[in-house]
Copies of this chain bind each other. A is one copy, B any other.
Amino acid sequence: MAVAVQRIENSDLPTRCRDCSSRRDGFCAGLAPAELLRLHPYVVRKRLPAGEEVLSQGVLNTSYVHVLDGTVKLTAALPDGTEQIVGLRFPGDFLGQRFAPDVGFTAETATDVEYCRVSKAALDALADSNTTVAHQMHQWVATELQESREMMLTLTQRDARQRVAGLLYRIGHRQTPCATRTRIELPLSRGEMASYLGLTIETISRQLSALKRDGLIAIEHKTQVTIFDMGKLATAAAMTV
């Protein structure tokens, strides 16, 4: 508990942490330099291209993943062999369950992704000795639950147009939090968007065309989406209140 830390220089941090955004305002901001150093041997920083598995459903749950750059999709393998997207993870997000014996959902890079993989045993040990860390991990699950319940409401209440607009809004919000007008790079194919929103590829395509026709967005090269007005998009998504 009593980690006497004061005036520790940046240079006392592990090299890779020095310029990391997570150190400034993400998960690692909650860690003392000494703790980062203690964790250091159990962390690997990686970069993967799109379409690679980061964590695989069903295997022994031995690591956490902290997303630094790019988009990761969480997928559930369905009995019929297809996969269903159940969540998206962006920079700053955290993957892994503390109290699950094995991995519940496959995590797969949707774009090029940079991340830190942390040994579960090491971070769990740290959480055992540092309640702040334990709380942070607990709180993260609560955040995921909240998100998942919002998705439930989306699926029961919103029509196709609202779902697509809402997804674009959320991606825009994560990629450029403060802009009213923004250009985003879609991390998902039409099929992936369809899977996530419980719709079909054709419906996604039609709704994107409709949003384009209505002057809310522009699309270039399939994946470059310009959002002209985040507020109007939020209205189209019925995200108000």
A residues lining the B interface (CB < 8 Å) = 76, 78-79, 84, 86-87, 97-100, 104-105, 128, 131, 134-135, 137-139, 141-142, 144-146, 148-149, 151-153, 155-157, 195, 197-198, 240-241
Judge whether A141 and B145 touch: CB under 8 Å. Answer: yes
Query: What's the Cα separation between A148 and B86 when bound, in Å?
Result: 10
Judge whether A84 and B142 touch: CB under 8 Å. Answer: no
Contact of A131 among B128, B152, B241 (CB under 8 A): B128
Residues of B within 8 A of A152 (CB): 86, 148, 151-152, 155
Judged by DSSP, the binding face of A is helix
Judge whether B135 and A78 touch: CB under 8 Å. Answer: no
Judge whether B153 and A84 touch: CB under 8 Å. Answer: yes
Scoring A128, A134, A144, A148 by chain B CB atoms within 10 A of each residue's CB, the highest score goes to: A148
Contact of A142 among B76, B97, B146, B241 (CB under 8 A): B97
Contact of A155 among B87, B100, B138, B156 (CB under 8 A): B156
Judge whether B138 and A198 touch: CB under 8 Å. Answer: no
Judge whether B156 and A84 touch: CB under 8 Å. Answer: yes
Residues of B within 8 A of A100 (CB): 142
Scoring A97, A135, A145, A197 by chain B CB atoms within 10 A of each residue's CB, the highest score goes to: A145
Beyond A99-B135, A148-B149, 11 extra complex contacts between A and B, CB < 8 Å: A78-B153, A84-B156, A86-B153, A98-B138, A99-B138, A104-B146, A105-B149, A141-B142, A144-B145, A151-B152, A156-B198
